[in-house]
Amino acid sequence: MRPLLRVEGLRLSVPTGKLHLKHKTILHDVCFSVPEGARAAYLGPNGAGKTSTFRVLTRLVRPDAGRIHYRGHSFIPPACLGFLPEQPYFYRHLTPREVLSALARLAGLRQGVDARIAHWAERLGVAHVLDQRFAACSKGQMQRIGLVQALVHEPEFLLLDEPMSGLDPLGRELVADVLREVAARGTTILFSTHILSDAEELCDHVIVLHEGRVRYEGTMEALLASGRRMRLRYRAPKPFAAEAKALEKGVWEEVWPEEEAHKRLREVMQRGAEVLLFAPQRRTLEEAFAELVGRGRP
Amino acid sequence: MRAVWDIARLVLLEGLRNRLHHGILAFAALMLLAAVALASVTMGRTEMLVLDLGLGVLALFLQLVAVVFTIQIVQQEKENRTLYLLLTRLAQRWPYMLGKSLGVGGVLAVQAAGMGVLLFLLARFFGVFDALSYVQAVAATFLEAWIVAATALVFAQSSSFFLAVLFTIGVDVAGHFHSIIAHLGARAELALARWLAKLATWALPDLESVSVRDLAGIAPLAAADWWQLMAYAGLTVAAWTALAIAIFSRRNLA
């Protein structure tokens, strides 16, 4: 698929120290692209530079170096972009309806503003809070209203920083459904999340960032298939490897990287064991992620 | 320009519904009543004393709102990240800051009008006075506060809340001594002092010339003088807002 967004050599440093005289580089030549129509996850541990990348993409921060390409522009045009910042917050004394209609107008929407607000608020389960002040809204409601504001002008590119943050399991499921729905209509989505199961379920494209560097960029399928391991299950009185796990009496299972697994299969068969299963074991995103970033969890 | 009005409207609504403002307005109303009580037991034309004291209270509270509210909306917007929602919808940043300036102007105008009407009714209860000069004094007090708010927009971006308040009040106070600074500069023996005074008079807003409270209830300003005052205040607000826009447009909002 043709990339809709291409990021080349993004470098960003931030001033540190009491007098802001020192600089710390937080993005090191970050390059990635998001194919048109993709549901892309932007993953990384805390402090990897995900939010900083989003700030550069939304022109809140100017990078030291690097370029952004979006349909011939060097930035994502505001009318094309729906942005949800991490833990969105709104004006305490205003109502969601007032803020959403102002934001929709700012995004260039002139007609049908009320109908669009009503539609997305209904879809995300916040229609009943549209006319109460933000001061009375819960964190989860704020998050959903944040999504409404990102979707209300129906942009072609959604940039979402932790869209599932602060939501209960039902809320997460609802948001996932809405994201699938907009993606099915052709909207390209790039979102960051720490909930890897959500990313695995929702996304077809992955970018993994660690310490300001891109560690992986490609399809979800390729990431989960890479470094594939095989499960070898056999019946024998004793296991043939120390790593073998007993499943039941006399039934053992070993997991090997694909390249070694075939050798092990031959050995097991030569020793007269009955092979019960020899099948690839699909990695979870969590395992692939842990391998890429080397330590910890996002 | 639509974006500017949309942002100004958000500021206006948020400002007018802010409980802090309601508290300030209630306190100002109490102070006005205290001024009335004080004036009614003083010898002289009671309505003029009410106007004098009341306009002083009005100016004080409007400037307080101008400083605190302006700095608060700029800094809280960044802290709460509402700023991101607005800026990602704008091709350029200037409508944001211009909208803020107009929104704050709207809040000050509504408050000036509210307190002005209350003071007018209170003073009118005690006697007759020149109404046009009173309206001019209230309008000029509003413009004075708007100038202070525009300077607050500049300082609010680049420092902490405390420092921003300090710098704004500094400009506010110095602006009220504009002619004294110019006079002292002209009489200074050191060339550097003369140069510094000149620089200060050039850079600081001349809030003295905007204030016409001493004429309230007596005689209105001549039309030409009034338009000159309005033009000066408008240009000063525009210049400080432009400076705020220039700084804000270059800022990294990390």
Residue-wise pLDDT tens digits, B195-217: 998 898 889 999 998 988 888 88
Residues with Cβ within 8 Å of residue A184, at least 6 apart in sequence: none
Comparing C-alpha atoms, which of B142, B168, B206 is closest to residue B70?
A: B168
SS3 A15: strand
ipTM: 0.82
For residue A206, pLDDT beyond 60: yes
Q: Tens digits of per-residue pLDDT, B73-122? A: 899 888 888 889 999 999 899 999 999 999 999 999 999 999 999 899 98
Looking at beta carbons, which residues of chain A come within 8 Å of B9?
102
Hey, are the CB atoms on A106 and B3 less than 8 Å from each other?
yes
Please name the residue that has the structure tokens 């990339």: A3
Measured CA angle at A279 (ends A278, A281), to 5 deg: 135
Per-residue pLDDT tens digits for B37-53: 887 777 777 888 888 88
Q: Tell me the helices (H) and strands (E) count for chain A, helix number first.
A: 9, 13
* Domain boundaries, given as residue ranges, for chain B: 2-176+211-250
Report CA Rg, chain B: 19
Confidence at residue B48, expressed as pLDDT on a 0 to 100 scale: 85
Average pLDDT, integer, range A126-143: 92
Closest by CA to A190, choosing from A75, A81, A39, A36, is A39
| Residue B192 exposed, middle or buried by CB count within 10 Å (0-12, 13-18, 19+) | exposed
pLDDT of A295 strictly over 70:
no
CA–CA distance, B149 with A189 (Å, rounded to integer)? 41
- Give mean pLDDT, residues A131-155: 92
Estimate to the nearest angstrom the gap between the alpha carbon of A124 and the chain centroid: 20
Interface test with B, best of A57, A59, A106, A134 (most B CBs within 10 A): A106
**Interval A246-252 mean pLDDT:** 89
List, for residues A22-81, the tens digit of each pLDDT value: 888 999 999 999 999 999 999 999 989 999 999 999 999 999 999 999 998 999 999 999
pLDDT for residue A175? 92
Fold designation for A3-87+154-224: Rossmann fold (3.40.50)
Average pLDDT over residues A120-135: 93
Average pLDDT (A215-235) is 86
pLDDT tops 80 at residue A284: yes
Rounding to the nearest 10 degrees, give the CA dihedral for residues B20, B21, B26, B29.
140
Q: Are A14 and B254 a contacting pair, CB within 8 Å?
A: yes
Question: Distance of CA A36 to CAs A108, A204, A217, B89, Å?
Answer: 22, 12, 15, 21
Q: Measured between CA atoms, how close is B239 to chain A, in angstroms?
A: 25
* Burial of residue A263 (number of CB atoms within 10 Å: 0-12, 13-18, 19+): exposed
State whether B90 and A106 contact (CB < 8 Å): yes
Q: How confident is the model at residue A133 (pLDDT cuts 50, 70, 90)?
A: very high
Q: Please tell me the predicted confidence (pLDDT) of residue A296.
A: 44
Please list every residue in chain B whose beta carbon sits closer than 8 Å to the beta carbon of residue A137. none
Mean pLDDT across chain A, nearest whole number?
Answer: 90
Q: What integer is the mean pLDDT of B217-235? A: 92
Amino acid B251: pLDDT: 85
DSSP codes of every residue in B232-245 = HHHHHHHHHHHHHH
User: What count of other Cβ atoms lies within 10 Å of the Cβ of residue A112?
Assistant: 11
Residue A140, both tokens: 């989860």
DSSP 8-state secondary structure symbol assigned to residue A282:
P
Give pLDDT, residue B137: 95
Q: Which helix (H) or strand (E) holds B89?
A: none
In Å, how far from its chain's centre is CA A38? 11
Interface of A with B (CB under 8 A): 14, 52, 55, 58-62, 77-78, 81, 83, 85-94, 98-99, 102-103, 105-107, 133, 149
Min distance A73 CA to chain B CA atoms (Å): 12
Chain A residues touching residue B7 (CB < 8 angstroms): 102, 106
Q: Following DSSP, what letter does each residue of B176-191 receive, concatenated? A: TTHHHHHHHHHH-SSH
Residue A280's pLDDT band (boundaries 50, 70, 90)?
Answer: confident
What average pLDDT score do residues A192-216 get? 92
Cα separation, B92 vs B252, whole angstroms: 14
pLDDT tens digits, one per residue of B149-192? 999 999 998 768 999 999 999 999 999 998 899 898 888 888 89
Identify the bridge partners of residue A67 per DSSP, sorted by sequence position.
A8
- What whole-number percentage of chain B has pLDDT above 70? 100
Kindly state the average pLDDT of the residues A220-224.
Answer: 87
* Residue B127 pLDDT level (bands cut at 50, 70, 90): confident
pLDDT at A61: 92
Q: What is the structure's pLDDT at B104?
A: 95
Residues of chain A with CATH 3.40.50.300: 3-87+154-224
Helix (H) or strand (E) holding B104: helix B94-126
Calculate what percentage of chain B has a pLDDT beyond 90.
Answer: 52
A119-125 contacts, C-beta under 8 A, 24 or more apart: A120/A147, A120/A148, A120/A151, A120/A152, A121/A96, A121/A145, A121/A148, A123/A178, A124/A148, A124/A174, A124/A175, A124/A178, A125/A171, A125/A174
Contact assignment for B13 to A94 by CB distance below 8 Å: yes
| Phi and psi angles of residue B27, each rounded to the nearest 5 degrees, phi first | -65, -40
- In terms of Cβ atoms closer than 10 Å to its own Cβ (0-12, 13-18, 19+), residue A7 is buried
Could you tell me if A207 and A192 are in contact, meaning their C-beta atoms sit under 8 angstroms apart?
A: no
**How close B104 comes to chain A (CA, Å)?**
15
